Amino acid sequence: MTQRPFDIAAAFRNKETALRASFLAIREVTSHGTTIGDQTEADWVGLIRDFLPTRYAVGPIFAVDHHGNLSEQIDAAVYDTHYSPQWFGAAGGVRFVPVESIYAVFEVKPEFNSAYLRAARQKVSSVRKLERTSQAVVHKGGRYEAVDIEIKPVIGGILTMRKGLDDPAQKLKDTQPAPGDHEFLNIGICLDHFAFDYTPSAAGNKVETELATRSDGDQLIHFCIRLFRQLQAVGTVPAVDMTKYEETVFANDSD
């Protein structure tokens, strides 16, 4: 008996259908904005967590740097739990995570519009403005030297369900700051309409970043694959330099 091949496209589309059904189900039984928002955030976190390898942790967080500076609350973050300690948990599963361990941060909103784009950029910026450290890592075969923070950028994005603009892709392009700006958005999705990303692609010895969009019904597939490619480009987050945090902890100690 010939075994049928696994239908990858159908699997993604089924996931997209389930996500949309969950969103509609909670909206039909309550008009409470916070309840709807919490469920939508949980749905996105679950989808990203299910798709990515288990090396990545996914969930709501606050990012913290060694000065004690704190980001705004992030709805969905992709972060590492191997090279950095995880500080403290909080009610509802929100964690305080050292900024060094963060791969990507996302703002979850009900629709893709100008106001929510600004909100997403502010949230992403609040993480990128924090000061990251880097430390060498000793392993069985030797030593990995401390990495250059600049080549390990934090991916920033927005996750929405429906569009609130006639041409959301054009609004994105018109308002997008330059690559490298703290408010630059690398990737995002409006589940009912389109996905976008600026995924680096090698062109000879030059790495170029160009806007790509998809709006033919396979936007969730596009988003997930491009997110994974961006994470691959980052590689592994820098190991936290605990001496910097130790200096802050004991800065006010007297002899």
Q: So which residues are the catalytic ones?
A: 75, 107, 109
Q: How far apart are CA 129 and CA 142, in angstroms?
A: 33
Nearest to 198 by CA among 157, 149, 142: 157
Q: How far apart are CA 176 and CA 178, in angstroms?
A: 7
Residue-wise DSSP of 106-172: EEE-SEE-HHHHHHHHHHHHHHHTSPP--B-EEETTEEEPPPPGGGSPPEEEEEESEE-SS-HHHHH
Nearest to 131 by CA among 81, 66, 74, 87: 66
Q: How far apart are CA 222 and CA 149, in angstroms?
A: 28
With 0-12 / 13-18 / 19 or more C-beta atoms within 10 angstroms meaning exposed / middle / buried, residue 252 is exposed
Q: How far apart are CA 236 and CA 251, in angstroms?
A: 30
